[in-house]
Structure 1
Amino acid sequence: MTDLFSPARFGAIELANRVVMSSLTRNRAGAGNVPTPLVAEYYRQRASAGLILTEASPICAAGHGYPRTPGIHTPEQIAGWKQVTDAVHGAGGKIALQLWHVGRISHPDLQPDSALPVAPSAIRPAGQVFTGQEMKDFVMPRALELAEIPALVADFGQAARNAADAGFDGVEIHAGNGYLLDQFLRSSTNRRTDAYGGSKENRARLLLEVLDAVCREIGSDRTGLRLSPVTPFNDISDDHPQETFDYVVGQLNPLQLAFLDVLQGAGGAPREQWPPFDYDRLRALYSGNLILNNGYDFATAQAAVTSGAADAIAFGRLLLANPDLVERFRRGAALNPPDYATFYTGEEKGYTDYPFLPD
C-alpha cells in the first residue's frame, strides 16, 4: 500500500518519501539577495523530506517585493544557491527552486530605479508592504504593455536555466498567492482587453507561455506548478474560481509536468471556513503527480496519500519547526512548536536552531 513513507518518482525527480517541504519565505538572504551558508545549513537540515520546495526566488530584479529574498538572476545568486543544492544533495535530499515574480505586491523602494511595480492591470492592492525600513502602503502598479510580455516569459525561462546551473533537481513556477501569474489568472486583478485578459483562456495565456518556456529550458519532467485557487492573500479573488482553475488544470496534462502543487483553502483559516471549491475535480482532471498543501497533520496526510487523493503532502510550519519531521512521523514523536516571532527575522534563531530527536 502506498503511504506517506513510500518512495515516488515525480518526472525526473526520485523522492525517498512523500513528505514535501512547502515553499516558505524566510528573509535571510545576504547582500545582493544572495543565499548564504546559513541558508544552505537551513535546507541541509531538512533534506530528509522527499522533496524540498525552496522559498520563492525572484526571476529578475523587478520581481522582488520583500527584503532579503534570494534571487536567481545574478551570477552571485546562482553561486549562492549552488552552495544550497550541494548541501542538500550531500545529505541525500532533493530540492526544487520556486520561481517568483511578485507583480504588484511590491513598492518602488524595492524596485530598480524606484520604478513602479508591474501588474496585468493598474489596480492597487489593499494593504502595506515592508520595504526593509518601514511599512508603506502599496502603490498603484503599472500595467504591463503587450510588447513587454515576451521578455517576461523569457525571464522565467532564463531563471529556470539558472536554477539548473545552480544544481537544482527541478523548479516550481509560482502561480499562486496573489503574485504576478496569479494576478493574470484572476478576474479581480486582470482587467485587460487584449489577448491576455477577459476570458479564462486569455487570462491563463501568460501562465501557459511561461510553462512552455520553462519546460523548453529544463524539461517538463523537472518542472512543477503551484496554484492556490481560492486563497485571498494579497487582496485577490476570482468571480468563478472553479471554472478558471478547472480550465488551467485541464491544459496541463499534455505538458507531462513533474508535479502540480495545490494550496487548498484560504491561508491559515480552518477548513470549515474555506471558500467553496471542489479539489476532487482537479484530481480528476489532472493525470500527473498531485501535491496537496495546507493544514495537514500526520493522520490527515497519511489518509490523503493512502486514499489516492494526493501523491504527496507539503508541510510548511511543521517542517520549519521540525527539520526531522519524517522521522518524528515514523516514531510518533512529539513536534516542536514553531516560533512565529522569528519566521521573517532572527538569523540563526528560529531558523537553524530547532532541536532534532535524539539518536
Structure 2
Amino acid sequence: MNCSRVALFACFLVLGGCPQEGGPNKPSGRLQGQVVGPGSPRGDAYVFLFAPSEGPPRGQAVPRYVTAVPDLRLGTGDARFLFAEVNPGPYRLWGFLDANGDVDLSVDVLAQPGAGDWLPAAGVELEIPAGSVVEHELTLTQRRRHDPPAFRVTGEGTDGGVVTVPDSLLSLTSLDVEAEGLGLLRGEEARFFVRLVDRDGDGNADDLNGDGVPELFPQFFLRFMPRPGQTVPMQTDGGPSQVIVPLVINPVPFVPILQGDVTREASATSLQLFVVPVAQAVSEATDGGQVLTPLAAMPVGEYQLWALSAEGAFWYIPNALGARDSEVLHSQSLRFEIVRGGSPDAGNPIR
C-alpha cells in the first residue's frame, strides 16, 4: 500500500480567517449575490472568498473574506449575501449551508460542513474590479453524506496525555481509535465510513505499490508541528513544506465487506492503525497538485494525528476543543511525539 497518498487531499483549513483591510486611498470592489439551494433550504449559510485556486477541496487555505446569511433571513426567502469592501483582484467564491447547526467557525475542527449540509459542486473563480459591483450566485447542489471523522485514541498509554512513537524502522507502533461525536456533531451517529480509494475514477481500487493491499478511506497521518528552531524542507516558493508520517488501517475486517468494489462502504465504530515509519515532505507542484518526497529520517518532536474522509472532511488531535474545561473533551488534548530510538526505554506506550 502506498501510504504517501494520505496527504494528497489534506485540507489544513481554518474557516475563521480575518478579512483583509484596504488602505484609505485604495478603492474597493463589491460582491453580492444569492445563496441558491434545492427547494427551501434552512440553516445558516456561510460564504467565503479565497485567493484564486485556493479553498476546499483543493488544499490548504484561509479565506480572505467571510460573510453569512443567517437562518432567520433564509426562512423569509432572503438569501442575499454581501461583501461590501473587497480589495480588487481575483478570488474564488465558495461556501456551504449548515443544515443542522453544528458548525462553529471559532473552533478549528468544527469549521467545516457535516452530514446533511449543502455545498457547491465547485468553487467559482471571479474578478472583482476596483469601484465595481459584481453579482454572482452561490449555487449549492451537493449534500454531504457524513459528518467529519471525529475520533479519540483509546488504549493503554493515553492517560498521560502524550503518545510517543519511536522513529525506528524496526519498531511496529499501532494505535486504536474510536469514532466519537463528543456531543457536538448532530448529523448522525459517530462512525468511521471505510471505502476503497479510487482517485483516478477508473472504477478500480488504488494499489499504487502493487502489494495487493488497496488504499482505504478514512486516511490517517501524523503531521509535524515544528517548534522554533526546528527546520523542515522548503518549497520552491520559499515556504515550508508540510511533513507527515502515514498510518494505515488494518484492512482485514473490511476486505470481505468491500470485495474490491469502490462503490461499497463499510461502517465501523473503531479502527486499528499502524504507523508507517517513513516521513514525507508535502510540497505544491507547478500544476497545483502535490509532490511527496521521502525524508531520510522522521523529525523528532510534536505531531498532530489527522483523519481525512472520502468526502474531504477532516479531524485532528490535539485541537481547540481539548483546551476547554470539559471531561468529555479531554480526549481532544492528547499530544503525539516522535522520539529517537526504538526500544521501550525511549517511550512507546502504544505498541
Q: Is the structural similarity TM-score above 0.5?
A: no
- TM-score when scaled to structure 2? 0.29
Structure number with the bigger relative contact order (C-alpha 8 A, sep ≥ 6) is 2
Task: Tell me which protein shows more helix as a share of its residues.
Answer: 1
State the structure with more CA Rg. Answer: 2
Task: Tell me which protein shows more strand as a share of its residues.
Answer: 2
